[in-house]
């Protein structure tokens, strides 16, 4: 496949390739007018000839241009639909995707998982207030900048609520492992569709247990989710707590006796023993985390495509 490295698109000098997918290639470039580093997402030649693909890129440009949030990738420029090369220019993020970070650096820490989900939900909350549903939330579409700031990206299949739905002929858009049942079944969607995907990321079901996209879609549409014992974002303490609860479940005899109303003396004695056995609350020191929770003041970044 031909590369654009060493060439120039309008005012952008393309210096290196940083990622590619089925739809586009992402390059690192320089804006020669403003002298700043940028990421340039260029449609593959065979995709640029399709009206659907060009419309999808335009949708991403228009959608993200409306959003201003520290945890959403910022768009600088768009080629327009009439240009020979269809491309999108964004901030360049020095960092890695959440998927890469989970695979190489993650250690089970509930507080850290909460921080990641909190910043992701902050970005989604901002988009949802603008009437925008992302529709493709997954670790591959989240970047972690070198200073710890999270960036949500790839709004290519986002849907503006109450507007016409963007589709691709013969394709189910999105990532089956993170799709909500209403998205799989072609029903109306809203902000809860994104929250479903966030929940899948947190508890990581069913990707680890389904061998094909078809099996994943079937399981998601039927429901009955159960947290994975080895989910990359959630803590192993979840499954441990569930095991303790099941192992300490009352026996049939104790359950039947528990249904009998206690006498006044036994109830008073039980309450007194519970109060005396309760330990005083412990103070916990705040956990340290590489994930930033403050306001971002700079945007040096790296972008990737699915």
Q: What is the dihedral of CA 264, 268, 269, 274, to 10 degrees?
A: 140
- DSSP reduced 3-state for 20: strand
Residue ranges of alpha helices (H) inside the chain are 45-48, 51-65, 98-104, 110-129, 181-184, 191-203, 213-222, 237-247, 252-258, 264-277
**Which are the contacts of 82, defined by CB distance < 8 A and separation ≥ 6?**
none
Cβ–Cβ under 8 Å, residues 73 and 93: yes
Closest CA to 22 of 41, 3, 47: 47
- Residue 148 has a CB neighbour count (10 Å cut-off) of 16
Q: Which residue has the tokens 């990738």?
A: 73
The catalytic residues are 136
Q: What is the dihedral of CA 114, 115, 120, 125, to 10 degrees?
A: 80
SS3 per-residue string spanning 204-220 = CCCCCCCCCHHHHHHHH
Annotation-wise, does 283 bind a ligand?
no
- CA distances to 4, 70, 92, 153 from 297, in Å: 32, 8, 15, 18
Which residues belong to the annotated binding site? 41
Which residues belong to the annotated binding site for ATP? 41
């Amino acid at each position: 496949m031909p590369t654009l490295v060493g060439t120039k698109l309008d005012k952008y000098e393309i210096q290196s390739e940083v990622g590619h997918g089925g739809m586009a290639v992402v390059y690192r470039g320089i804006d020669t007018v403003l002298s700043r580093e940028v990421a340039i997402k260029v449609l593959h030649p065979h995709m640029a000839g399709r009206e659907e693909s060009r419309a999808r890129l335009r949708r991403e440009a228009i959608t993200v241009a409306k959003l201003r949030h520290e945890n959403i990738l910022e768009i600088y420029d768009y080629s327009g639909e009439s240009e020979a090369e269809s491309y999108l220019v964004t901030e360049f993020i020095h960092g890695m995707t959440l998927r890469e970070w989970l695979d190489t650096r993650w250690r089970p820490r509930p507080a850290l998982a909460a921080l990641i989900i909190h910043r992701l939900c902050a970005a989604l909350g901002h988009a949802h207030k603008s009437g925008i549903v992302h529709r493709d939330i997954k670790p591959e579409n989240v970047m972690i900048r070198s200073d710890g700031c999270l960036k949500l990206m790839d709004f290519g299949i986002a849907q503006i609520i109450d507007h016409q739905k963007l589709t691709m002929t013969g394709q189910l858009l999105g990532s089956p492992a993170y799709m909500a049942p209403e998205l799989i079944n072609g029903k109306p969607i809203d902000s809860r569709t994104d929250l479903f995907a966030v929940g899948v990321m947190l508890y990581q079901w069913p990707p680890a247990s389904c061998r094909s996209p078809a099996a994943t879609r079937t399981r998601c549409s039927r429901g009955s989710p159960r947290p994975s014992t080895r989910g990359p974002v959630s803590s192993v303490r979840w499954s441990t707590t569930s095991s303790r609860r099941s192992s300490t479940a009352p026996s049939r005899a104790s359950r039947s006796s528990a249904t009998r109303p206690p006498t006044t003396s036994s109830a008073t004695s039980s309450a007194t023993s519970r109060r005396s056995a309760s330990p005083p609350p412990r103070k916990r020191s705040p956990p340290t985390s590489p994930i930033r929770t403050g306001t971002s003041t700079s945007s040096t970044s790296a972008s990737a495509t699915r």
